[in-house]
Amino acid sequence: MCRGAIMTVPPLVRKLLAILATDVVGYSKAMEADEAGTIALRAVRAELTDPAIARHHGRIVKLMGDGALVVFDSVVDAVVCAAEIQKAVAAHNAGLAEPERIVFRIGVNLGDVALVDGDVYGDGVNVAARLEQLAEPGGVMVSSTAYDHLQGKLDWPLDFVGEQQVKNISRPVRMYRLRLDGIRARRLLLRSMPRWASGRAHPRHRSAHRCADRLPRVVGALGSAGAGCVCCPD
């Protein structure tokens, strides 16, 4: 290259991707050095996690000891893949003694990332990694940006669990837990339901609906059954 020539830097390639971050609960350097533990993790990856990633069109960006970073073009594919991995690993663990079990945490985010030499960088990756750290053992934690694109597209409900500050991100990240049992938390359902639908008595008439004795029944157009108590709908 001639002296004084200006080196041109290629433009940064950016893309909106779903990022799945995962690691093994309780995995340590000691386990990594243990041959049996390493073989067990490799077997789980080969038999369970890698096929699930391939089925849902994911790409493994890198493996980091017990962790992995995977990207998907579709956030629905990413979350369905995460759920399938956790269910398959749980079934695999059912026949093993506690010390032999491999348990994953998984975080999924949808974000803008920079693509550099086959790797991905940026806030989108940092958020996915933080969500993974906050997920329960055997669980999946999803960001609000991912959540917004998942409505009506999953077989599992998502429960809002709060906000978390993430390094280098000015605003807190809203987090949702994927309910792998398919059952939405009852307390969240009750909180969103009207009091009469949840079975909790109206504070004005907790026992025998005393107000009903003082209100006229509406008949005629409404039928013989009447309208009931106006402050406690049927």
- What are the structural domains, with CATH classification, of the chain? 13-185 (3.30.70.1230), 193-234 (no CATH)
Residuewise pLDDT in 10s, the chain (234 residues): 556 566 666 678 899 999 999 999 988 755 666 777 788 899 999 999 999 999 999 999 999 888 999 999 999 999 999 999 999 999 999 989 988 899 999 999 999 999 998 899 999 999 999 999 999 999 999 999 999 999 889 989 999 999 988 777 788 999 999 999 876 655 444 444 444 444 444 444 444 444 444 434 433 433 444 444 434 444
Residue 109: both structure tokens together: 């985010």
Q: Which residues make beta-bridge pairs with 107?
A: 21, 141
Helix (H) or strand (E) holding 93: helix 75-93
| DSSP state at residue 207 | T
Which residues sit opposite 69 in a β-bridge? 21, 62
Closest CA to 106 of 145, 49, 148: 49
Q: How far from chain centre, in Å, is Cα 36?
A: 31
C-alpha closest to that of 230 among 210, 212, 206: 212
CA nearest neighbour of 80 among 132, 145, 154 = 154
Which residues are 19's β-sheet partners?
Answer: 71, 109
What pLDDT sits at residue 35? 75
